[in-house]
Amino acid sequence: MVDRDLVLKKLAFIETCVQELRTLARLELLDRDVREERFVVHTLQVAVQAALDVASHVVSDLRLGEPETNRQLFELLRRAGWLPDRLAAAMRDIAGFRNVVVHGYEAVDLRIVRDIVEHRLGDLLDFVTAVRGRIGGD
């Protein structure tokens, strides 16, 4: 059974991260202030990690399948009706960004970081809404 309290705590954390990015990030400094870059990149990373944690918890507890990658977690949620197609695709993309940051596959492209903060934070909030809708969140 899905641990509702755990999931709600993670979802609230995602909302906090998004709010901090929207109110505290100074994107005009992103490419010339290492502290700003690290704040934005790290905050995105931990928000996406929280979404992955939620997805992993739900997939595991409901036995929705065995993902080979973190990105597949969102596909399994889509197949089970937890996420619409568009949101599952968006979350797979943002999980790919997190992989670049965490595993250091390549240097983080600050244009992508800026695009996520300016245009994709709503995807994280849509994920929160979708999951809350399924578990009866507050």
- pLDDT digit string, tens, across residues 34-90: 999 999 999 999 999 999 999 999 999 999 999 999 999 999 999 999 999 999 999
15-26 average pLDDT score: 97
Helix (H, G, I), strand (E, B) or coil at 35: helix
CATH domain 4-135 topology: Four Helix Bundle (Hemerythrin (Met), subunit A) (1.20.120)
pTM: 0.93
* 19, 129 Cβ separation under 8 angstroms: no
Please tell me the predicted confidence (pLDDT) of residue 106: 64
Distance between CA atoms of residues 101 and 108, nearest Å: 6
Q: Counting beta carbons within 10 angstroms of the beta carbon of residue 95, is it exposed (0 to 12), middle (13 to 18) or buried (19 or more)? A: buried
Task: Look at residue 109 and tell me whether its pLDDT is greater than 80.
Answer: yes
The residue extents of the domains of the chain are 4-135
Task: Look at residue 105 and tell me whether its pLDDT is greater than 70.
Answer: no
Closest CA to 2 of 73, 78, 82, 59: 59
Task: Look at residue 130 and tell me whether its pLDDT is greater than 90.
Answer: yes
Please tell me the predicted confidence (pLDDT) of residue 59: 97
